[in-house]
A and B are shown apart, each in its own frame.
Chain A
Amino acid sequence: MRQRLIEKLADLAVNKTRTMLWIVAGVTLVTMILSGGMSMTPKWSDMLPEGDKRTIEFDRILEEFQSASSIIVVAQGAETDIKAFADDLAPRVLDSLTIPGKDIDPAIYVRRVDYKADLDFLKEHAFMLMKEDDLKNLKDVFQEPCLAGLLTNMNNSFEKEFIQPEESISTREEEDGALIFLNGINSWLEAMELTLKTGNIPAPTAEAAVDKLLLGEPYFLSYDREALIMNLIPTFSMIDAFMIVDGTDAVQAVLNEVLLDHPNVQAGLSGAIAVGRDEMVYSSKGLEISMGLSFFLIGGLLYMAFRMAMAPALALLNLIVGLIWAAGIVAVVVPVLNIMTAMFMVILIGLGIDFSIHIISTFTEMRAKGLPLLDATQAGLKKSGGGVSTGAVTTSVAFLALMVGDSRAMSELGLVTAIGLLAVMVSSFVLLPVFLVVRERRYAKKRIKKGLTKRAAPRDLTLKPLGNVGVFIQNNPWISLISVVVVTVLLAFSAREITFNHNMMDMEAEGLPSIMLQDTVQDKFDLSMDFAYLVSESVDESRELKNKAKELPTVASVEDISTFIPSDEQQARRVPYISEIHALMESADAAPIRQADLDLIRQEIERLEMNIMEFQSMAFLGGQDKVYSRCTEIVGSEEAPPENTIFTRIYGLHDQGPSIVASKLGVFQDSYAEYFKSSVLRMANTDPITLEMLPESIVDRYASKDRSLFLTTVLPSGNIWQDKLFMEQFSSELETVSERTTGMPVIMRALFDIIGRDGRNAAYLTLILVYLILLIDFRSFKDALIAMLPLATGAIWMVGLMQIFGFQLDLMNVMALPLILGIGIDDGVHVVHRWRLEGPRSAAIVLSSTGKAVLLTSLTTILAFGSMMFSPFRGYASLSWALIFGVGACFLTTMIILPAFMGLLDKKK
C-alpha cells in the first residue's frame, strides 16, 4: 500500500504539477492563518499536569491576588535621590499609558503603587499591632515626651532588649526589629544635631524623625539604604500573557522618562511580571535566532553535500512549508505553548530536514543513473520513502509516547512535535517531488535554450570514505563489536555517576535585566522570591496556617494578613499595656529645659551611646551583620576610637555654652514633644482592629479581589535550589499544613518528580512501540532488534559522554533521553532498510550512500539543536548539548554496529 501511495504521489508530481502546487498553496495559506492564534506562557506551572491541584491553586492565586502578579521597580542610588525618584515615579506611572507606535488609545496598566508604608493606619493602631512582649519592653519609651525623660526611658528600654524572652535578635525578624529601633534613634539624634547646630528645626523634619522613631522607615529601603523597592500593582495578572509584554513595556517607557530627571539613580523592573515578560521576549528572540541560524547552517551544509545551490533551497523551502502546516495544526490542538513546547519548531527543523535530504539524495542518484523524470521520481521516492516514512512514524510514535506522562511539559511537547513531524513528512512526500520535477523541467528548458542535447555527466554524490569504513568493519566484525562493548561498558559506568542539577536558577535566562535585579533584591534586601503560598478562607484560618507554618523547621518566616489583625485574645491581652501607655502619656508634660537638666541629658546621651556600643558587641558575637554595621555607623568601630559619629558631633555641639545648649535643646524639645505626645496617644488606641479597618494597600497584599480568600506567603529557611532534600522537606512539611500548598518550590519539586517519572515511563513505552513498528515494517524480529541496537548503545554513550564532559542532568535536558529514543532510531532504520534492499555484503554502498545521508541528517539535527545554544535560556542550551551528544553517539554506534552485523550475518548466508 505504501509503495502504491508513493507511486501515486510521484505520478501526481510529474503529471499534475500545477494542481499540486495550487493545493499546497491553499493548505499553506489556511494553516498560516491558523498559526496566528498561537501564544506562549512563561509560567513553569504550566508544565505540570492540567488538573494538578498545585497548578490550579497557583493559577487561582495569580488570578485572584493582585500581590502575586506585581511589577517591582528597583531603584539604586543615594538614599535621598532614590526617595525623590520614587516620589516622582509613583504618580506618573499611575497615569494612563501609551506604548509608542503600538496603542492609539491610552491603556491603564497600573492600578496602584505601593512604595511607602501606610503611616495613617499605623499611627492609629501601632500599639495594637505590637506583640505583648514588645509592649512590655517598649512601654517605658512612651511615658514622657520631655528630652531627659525620653532619653532615660529609651536607655531603660535598650537595656531590657538584652533580656527579651526566648529568641531576642537571633532570627531575621528580630534583627529587622533591632534595625528599625536603631534607625529611629539615629534619625531622632540627627534632628537633635540639626537643632543644636542651627538653633532651629523645620516642623516636618522633627515630625518625620518622631515618625521614624515610633513607626520606622516608611520607604521600602534596603539594609544599606542604597536601594529602594516600589511595588506596582498591575491591572492584569500573569495569566494574561499578551498584557505582560505590553504592560511591562509601557511601565518601562515611563520609568525611562522619569530617570532622565534623576541622573544619579539607576532603576529597572523586576518581579514575576517583568521576569515573565523578559523570558517571553528573550526566549522568542532566542528561538527566532536559533531558527534563522539553523536554516543558514543547514543550507550551507546541504550545499556542500549536494554541490548544487538548488538542493538546499528546495529542501529548506519544503521544510518552511511543512513548518507552516505544523504550526497551523498545532495552534488548533495546543494554542498556548509552554517553555518546553515553545522549542518544537527548532526540533522540527532538525528532524524535518532529514526527510528532504533522504528524498533529494535518492532522486538525484536515480537521475544520475539516467532514469527518465517519472521513473526517477518513483524510484527515488521508493528507495527513500520506506525509510523516511518508517523513520517519521517511529519518531512520531516515540514523541507520542511522551503523552503517557502526566506533565504538560512532556505530553504537549510529544503531541505537538509528533503532529509537526508528520506534517513535515507529508509536505516532503507531496511538495518536495513537485519542487524536484519543476527544477528538472526548468533545467531541461535551459539546456534546450542553450542548444545542449545531453544531460551533464552524472556526478557521484556518495561518500566513499564512509563506505570504506563500512567495508573494513564488515570484514572485521568482532574487532568492532568488542570495541563497542568495551566502550559501552566504560561509558555505562560513567553514566551511573551523572548527577542531577536541581538549581532552576541555572536554567533561567542569564543576563536578563529583570533577573539581574532579582539578584540585587536578594542581596540588598535579603528577600527571596522563592516563596510558597497557602490560601485560606478567613483571617482566623490564615492565622492558624501561619502559626503552624512558623513551627516548621524549614520555614524562615511567614507573612499574612493576621499580622495586621491580631486575634481577639491577642488584642484583649494588649489592651492593658496600651491603656497604661495612654494614661502615662496623657498625664506627662514636657517641662522647659533648664541649665540644671543639661548634666542629666548629657549623661543619658552617653548612656545611649554605651548601650549602642554594647548592642554592637553582642551583634558582632551573634553574627548579626546588619545590626553590627548599623551600630558601627552610629557609634564607630571598637578598634578605632570614634571621631565623627552622631554622638561625637552632638558632644562637640554641647560645648557652645550651657545657656545656648539649653535654649537650643529647648527648641528641639518644643519641635517634637507635642507631636510625639499626640502621636503616642493616637497610637494608644484600644479599638479592636477589624478587616474593614485595614487600608487597601494592606488588604490587597493579602486578600483576593473579592476579599473572600487570604494569602499566606512562606519563605524557606534555606536555599531550595542548592539542596534538593531541603526543597523536598520544605514542600512536604508545608503540605502537612495545607493540602493546597503551592508556589515555586512546591511546583518545581512536583515538576522534578513528575518529569522524572514521565521520562522513565515514556522511554520504556517508546522502546516497546518502536520495536513493534520496526517489527511490522521489517517483518523480522532479528532485523527490528538490529535496527534498535545502535539506539540503545547510543543512549548509554550519550549519558556517559555528558558525564565525562562535566554536564549534569537537569529539568530540561532530561527530556533529551526520551527524545533521543525517537530521534536516534532513524539512523538504524535507514541503514537496515537500505541493507535489506541492497542485499548481502553491501556495506560499501549502504554506508557511502545511505550512510552519507545519515551523516548529513545527523549533522543537520546537530546544527538545529546546536543553534539553541544562543538562546538566553540556559535550559535550552543544556537540552541542546544533551541532544548533540545523543545524535552524535547514535550516528557513531549506527556506523560501527550495523556494518559489523552485516559482516557477521551475511557471512552465515
Chain B
Amino acid sequence: MKLKLLLLSPFLLLIAHAQGPTADQIVDRVTNIMSPENSHSKGSQTIITSSGKERVFEFESWAAEKGKSTLTRYTKPAAIRGQAFLMLNNADDIWSYFPRTKRIRKLASHAKKQKMQGSDFTYEDMGGGDVFQKKFKSRILTEETRDGAPTWKIEMSGIPEEDPPYPKIIMWVRQSDYYPIALDYYNEKDFNTKSLVLSDIQLIEEYPTAMEMVMTDNKERSSTTMRTLEITYAWEPPKGFFSERNLKK
C-alpha cells in the first residue's frame, strides 16, 4: 500500500500542480508580496476637488511592521506643507499634526473607514497587515486575462465577526508574480462602490511594486491617483520614529 502511494505521489503532485494553487494560497502570497517589512517612499497624490479642479499633493511616507505603522508627511503644496499623519495598529489609531496651529489631534478609531485626506482611499485601505487573510474567506471565481496578463479572479467575502473593511472584494491576481492588479470593492447591497487599479509594476529590491494606483469611487464619480516617485524597502525605522513627537518634526 505504502509502495503504491509512493509510486502515486509524483502523479498526485503533478495533479496538484496542474490544478494550481488554492485561493487561500494565492491570498497568502499576495499578502506577503504586498507587505514588505519596512519602506520609505516619496509619492504624489492627485485628487479632483468638489468644484472639479485637479489638486496634486506630494508626500514622504514611512512604513514599518508590514504596514502596521505608517507616517506620512506632506511636502507640497505650501498650503499643507508639514501636515502629517501617523497611523498605528493598522490604522486603528490615527493622529494628525497641523503645522499652522502646531497642534496634534487624535482621530477616533472609526476614522479608519473615512476617506483619507480627501482621496478615494480610506485610512484602512492604506493600512497594511494580514487583513485579506484574517478578515475574508476567499475562493477562485475564474482564470481570465486582464490587461494582457493571465490572472486569477478571486472573490473575498468578509467574515462578519472579524469586522471586515468591505463585505466583498473581487481581486485579480497576476499569475506570473502573484501581484494584484485590480480590486473591486462591494457594499452591503452588493454594489461595486470602488475600484482600484494597480499599474506600472516594477521590481524594486525584489518586491514587485505598483508605481501607480488609481482608486475610483463609483458613487462619488471621483478618482484618486497615487504615484510612487521613489521607494526603498531597505530602511530601518529608528527607535521612536512612529511617535507623536516625531509627527511634529
Does A260 interact with chain B (Cβ within 8 Å)? no
Query: Which residues on A sit within 8 Å (CB–CB) of B57?
Result: 621
What 0/1 readout, one digit per residue, does chain B (207-230) give for beta carbons within 8 Å of chain A?
Answer: 000000000001111000000000
Is residue A175 contacting chain B, with contact meaning CB distance below 8 A? yes
Which chain B residue has the least Cβ–Cβ distance from A733? B191
Q: List 27 A-B contacts (CB under 8 A).
A: A163-B107, A163-B108, A165-B110, A166-B113, A166-B114, A168-B111, A170-B114, A170-B115, A170-B118, A551-B187, A553-B219, A555-B219, A613-B98, A614-B98, A614-B100, A617-B98, A618-B117, A621-B57, A621-B74, A621-B80, A621-B117, A622-B115, A624-B118, A626-B51, A638-B78, A639-B78, A717-B220
Q: Does A300 contact B (CB under 8 A)?
A: no
Q: Which of B116-133 contact A (CB under 8 A)?
A: 117-118
Q: Contacts A553-B193, A624-B118; is A613 near B100 (CB within 8 Å)?
A: yes
Other A-B pairs, 7, CB within 8 Å; known A553-B191, A623-B47 = A163-B108, A610-B101, A613-B98, A621-B74, A623-B49, A623-B55, A639-B78
Q: What's the least CB distance linking B137 to chain A, in Å?
A: 24
How many of A's residues come within 8 Å of B, CB to CB? 34
C-alpha gap A162/B94 in the complex (Å):
11
The minimal Cβ–Cβ distance linking B161 to chain A, given in whole angstroms, is 20
Q: For chain B, residues 87 to 120, give those with C-beta under 8 angstroms from any C-beta of chain A.
A: 98, 100-101, 103, 105, 107-108, 110-111, 113-115, 117-118
A717 touches which of B98, B107, B219 (Cβ 8 Å): B219
Question: What 8 pairs between A and B have smallest CB-CB spacing?
Answer: A622-B118, A623-B49, A163-B108, A610-B101, A621-B117, A625-B51, A623-B118, A718-B221
A727 to B249, CA, bound (A): 49
Question: In the bound complex, what is the Cα–Cα distance between A554 and B192 (angstroms)?
Answer: 11
Name the distance in Å between B196's Cβ and chain A's nearest Cβ. 15
Interface residues on B, range: 35 or more
**Residues in A whose Cβ lies below 8 Å from that of B113:** 166
Contact string against A for B residues 41-80, beta-carbon threshold 8 Å, 1 for contact and 0 otherwise: 0000001111101010100000000000000001000111
Pick the residue among A162, A625, A717, A726 that contacts B111 (CB under 8 A): A162
Instruction: Name the residue in A167, A175, A623 with the highest tally of chain B Cβ atoms < 10 Å from its Cβ.
Output: A623
Taking CB atoms and an 8 Å cut-off, the chain A residues in 120-168 that contact chain B are 159, 162-163, 165-168
Q: Smallest CB-CB separation from A628: which chain B residue? A: B49
Q: Within the complex, which residue of A165, A552, A638, A726 is in contact with B80, where a contact is CB–CB below 8 Å?
A: A638
Which A residues contact B (CB, under 8 angstroms)?
159, 162-163, 165-168, 170-172, 175, 551-555, 610, 613-614, 617-618, 620-626, 637-639, 717-718, 726
Q: Is the CB of A163 within 8 A of B50?
A: no
Q: Evaluate contact between A625 and B53: CB separation under 8 angstroms.
A: yes
Closest B residue to A551 using CB positions = B189
- Are A162 and B100 also in contact (CB < 8 A) when A167-B114, A552-B191, A625-B51 are? no
A622 touching B117, Cβ below 8 Å: yes
Separation of A574 and B23 alpha carbons in the complex (Å)? 46
- Answer yes or no: B38 CB below 8 A from chain A CBs: no
B224: nearest chain-A partner, CB-CB: A623
B35 within 8 A of A: no
* B221 / chain A contacts, CB cutoff of 8 Å: 717-718, 726
Q: Is the CB–CB distance between A553 and B218 below 8 Å?
A: yes
Name the residue of chain B whose CB is nearest to the CB of A523: B51
Nearest A residue (CB) for B113 = A166
* Complex CA distance for A613 and B189, rounded to whole angstroms: 38
Asked if B83 is at the interface (CB within 8 A of a chain A CB), the reply is: yes
Which residues of A lie under 8 Å from residue B80 when comparing CB positions? Answer: 617, 620-621, 638
CB distance from B160 to the nearest CB of A (A): 18
Decide if B50 touches A639 in the complex (CB within 8 Å): no
Q: Quick one: which of A618, A621, A626 has the most chain B CB within 10 A?
A: A621
Given contacts A617-B80, A639-B78, contact A175 B50 (CB under 8 A): yes
B83's closest neighbor in chain A, by CB? Answer: A617
Chain A residues within an 8 Å CB radius of B218: 553
Which residues of A sit under 8 angstroms from B47, Cβ to Cβ?
A: 623
Question: With a CB–CB cut-off of 8 A, which chain A residues contact B101?
Answer: 610, 613-614
CA distance A623 to B217 in the complex (A): 14
B109 nearest CB neighbor, chain A only = A163
Q: B57 — nearest CB in chain A belongs to which residue? A: A621
Which residues of chain B have C-beta atoms less than 8 A from A175's C-beta? 50
Set of chain A residues within 8 Å of B48, measured between Cβ atoms = 623
Q: How far is the CB of B36 from chain A (nearest CB, A)?
A: 26
Within the assembled complex, what's the spacing in Å between the Cα atoms of A165 and B51?
A: 24
Assess whether B191 is in contact with A551, with CB atoms less than 8 Å apart.
yes
Q: Which residue of B lies closest to A621 (CB)?
A: B117
Contacts of A170 in B (CB 8 A): 114-115, 118, 220
Most buried by A among B47, B100, B189: B100
Partner of B50, one of A165, A172, A552, A553: A172
Give the chain B neighbours of A620 by CB distance below 8 A: 79-80
Which residues of chain B are within 8 angstroms of A610 by Cβ–Cβ distance? 101, 103
A650 to chain B, nearest CB (A): 17
Residues B50 and A625 in contact, CB atoms below 8 Å apart: yes
Residues of B156-195 contacting chain A, CB below 8 A: 187, 189, 191-193
